[in-house]
Amino acid sequence: MRPAIVLAAAVLVGLSWGRDCSADDSRRLLRPSPRVLMDPAVYYSPLLFTKKGEPKPGEWMAEHPEPRQSFSEYARSGPIRPTRGRHTLAISPVGPMSEEEKARLAVLREFLEAYYTLPVRIVKPLDLAGVTSRQRSIFGRTLRQYLTGDILHQILRPALPSDAMCLLGVTMEDLYPEPSWNYVFGQAMLTQRVGVYSLVRFYPTFWGRSETDAAMQKGLVRSLHTLVHETGHMFGVHHCQQYDCVMNGSNSLAESDTQPIHLCPVCLRKFRWDIGFDMIARYEALRKFYEAHGMKVEAAWVAKRIGQCRGEKVAAAGGQAVSPTREQTEKEHAPSPAT
Ligand SMILES: [Zn+2]
Ligand SMILES: [Zn+2]
């Protein structure tokens, strides 16, 4: 069974979990619901975006036919929404992390906050004691891997803060979802609002390569993309099929590396409706982040979008941001048995 399919299925189950709030503040929306259908047309203009092309063999859309989720289907599905009592996104380091890795976590926190315009808090580190693990051999060295199900149930679920919309466990350990799989990048239990994601394979050390500035930057951008994509699922947003978009499904690192880190017009409208952010203020925060972290292509693209949203004339797509990502399904060697 493929963990990405588990994840996609969990999205469907997870659509109702915003309704089980008991405290009053857990029911009141954090921000008034924006009338997105009255938004200026330029907010959702396709001009700076690229329509998704026909998938090539082996790519996500070729292997995983999924129904499209339109904006109205999304809004009707009753996704979780930030309320006054529950609107923090919590990140917990899981397993050991070096000081450098902890510093990267702080960058992830900063980015998620700009992206979703909600407070993001790094909560207490969690250890892997009691989690089922196994040893694997890769490139001539022995590697320990941890079972995602145990982490979700035993470690993350009990640690979910009461004010958190979700708890994202981030680890530098390698993961596996079941014995038949070589490894997995991550897995979520959306009904329980928890997910665990490993970043270790995004960085050169894992592959026995040297830590050049370019490789480390690539690892960081992949990590940013992963967290944004997975958090997007926590909001009940399905994989995007209309445009090149951060919410595209992906079957491999090679595929995800070609996908942008931005939201397409369809997904953007879903998140604006759900979260209630100010369009331009969000883009401004993202531009600041991209400029501070050497993401020049993304910074330039966002600057164009800001101009467009303010009613300025902008050139059509072509120089749009293309940023690395990944997804849950890349395999280490041979394909894992599929169900
Ligand atoms: Zn996904
Ligand atoms: Zn999209």
Tell me which ligand sits closest to the C-alpha of residue 230.
1
CATH class, domain 3-309, is alpha beta
Q: How far is the CA of 33 from the centre of ligand 2 (A)?
A: 20
Tell me which ligand sits closest to the C-alpha of residue 327.
1
pLDDT at 139: 77
Handedness of CA 336, 337, 338, 339 (dihedral sign): negative
pLDDT at 37: 87
- For residue 175, what are the contacts with CB-CB under 8 A and spacing of at least 6? 145, 146, 147, 148, 151, 183, 184, 185, 186, 187, 196, 198
Tell me which ligand sits closest to the C-alpha of residue 329.
1
Token pair recorded at residue 227: 């967290």
Handedness of CA 97, 298, 300, 307 (dihedral sign): negative
pLDDT at 17: 32
Q: What is the pTM of this model?
A: 0.85
Q: How far is the CA of 243 from the centre of ligand 1 (A)?
A: 15
Using CB atoms within 10 Å of the CB of residue 178, give its burial: 0 to 12 exposed, 13 to 18 middle, 19+ buried. middle
pLDDT at 320: 43
Token pair recorded at residue 301: 């693209």
Q: How far is the CA of 263 from the centre of ligand 1 (A)?
A: 13
Active site positions, annotated: 230
> Please, are residues 111 and 143 in contact by the beta-carbon 8 Å criterion?
no
DSSP annotation of 323 reads -
Q: How far is the CA of 12 from the centre of ligand 2 (A)?
A: 17
Mark the ranges of the chain whose per-residue pLDDT is less than 50: 1-22, 319-339
CA angle 102, 105, 107 (to 5 degrees): 120
* 56-83 CB burial, b ≥16 within 10 A, e <16: eeebbbeebeeeebebeebbebebbbbb
pLDDT at 318: 54
pLDDT at 317: 63
Q: List alpha helices for 142-264, DSSP H.
A: 148-150, 213-234, 253-256
- Sheet with 174-176, strands from edge to edge, namely 133-138, 141-147, 174-176
pLDDT at 70: 96
pLDDT at 13: 29
CA distance 189 to 147: 14
6: left (phi over 0), alpha (psi -120 to 50) or beta: alpha
